[in-house]
Structure 1
Amino acid sequence: MATGWAGDGAVHEQIEATVKDAIQRARSQLPQGPGRERCEECDAPIPEARRKAMPGVRLCIRCQEAEEREEQQAHSGYNRRGSKDSQLR
């Protein structure tokens, strides 16, 4: 257990700091600079509206969705070792 006394809003401040860090990390990973006119993966044209909406875009919508699905599956965040089901088996 921790020793000492925390201030009244210590937990709230810690949560806010964690959220701010996550937002900053996500923003730093967004692409920047001029967007590509053609997709890096499939060479399909990237519409001007998408390039304006997403500065630094490098993939068409179809390839971007596929990349996000793969990334989500790879980093699902599900801790199988710590789940109750896995402990019952």
Structure 2
Amino acid sequence: MATGWAGDGAVQDQIDATVKDAIKRARQQLPTGPGLEHCESCDAPIPEARRKAIPGVRLCVPCQETVDLENATDGGYNRRGSKDSQLR
């Protein structure tokens, strides 16, 4: 067996770690506490169903969509398609 090569499953372990980190970051960004009855951005009423579905909601749907688009990233780094994914 050649030395210097990553063990079996090393690439998948790296992908799994990336996914776990992304999930952790997303969960940390979730709102907590009591939700607002009116949007903190535009002062529009937030429907009761939305407040029940998302604890700690602070924005109406249109304002939340705007924030989501502003915070969107390009999908990240494709580890499978990169030279670095070979883990030499």
TM-score by length of 1: 0.71
Higher helix content, 1 or 2? 1
**Cα distance, 1:6 vs structure 2:** 1.6
Q: Deviations over 1:43-72 (max 9, x none)?
A: 111111101111111011111112222333
Distance between the aligned counterparts of 2:14 and 2:45, measured in 1? 45
Name the Cα RMSD after superposition.
2.0
Percentage identity across aligned positions?
Answer: 72
State yes or no: 1:54 paired with 2:79. no
Gaps of 5+ in 2: 77-88
Distance between the aligned counterparts of 2:69 and 2:63, measured in 1? 10
CA gap 1:52/1:62 in 2 versus in 1, 3 angstroms: same
State the AA in 1 paired with 2:67: E
CA gap 1:77/1:22 in 2 versus in 1, 3 angstroms: closer
State yes or no: 1:14 paired with 2:30. no
Q: How does 1:72-87 map to 2 (within 5 A)?
A: 72=72, 75-76=73-74
Q: How many equivalent pairs are there?
A: 74
**Cα distance, 1:32 vs structure 2:** 1.2
State yes or no: 1:5 paired with 2:10. no
TM-score by length of 2: 0.72
Distance between the aligned counterparts of 1:7 and 1:76, measured in 2? 30
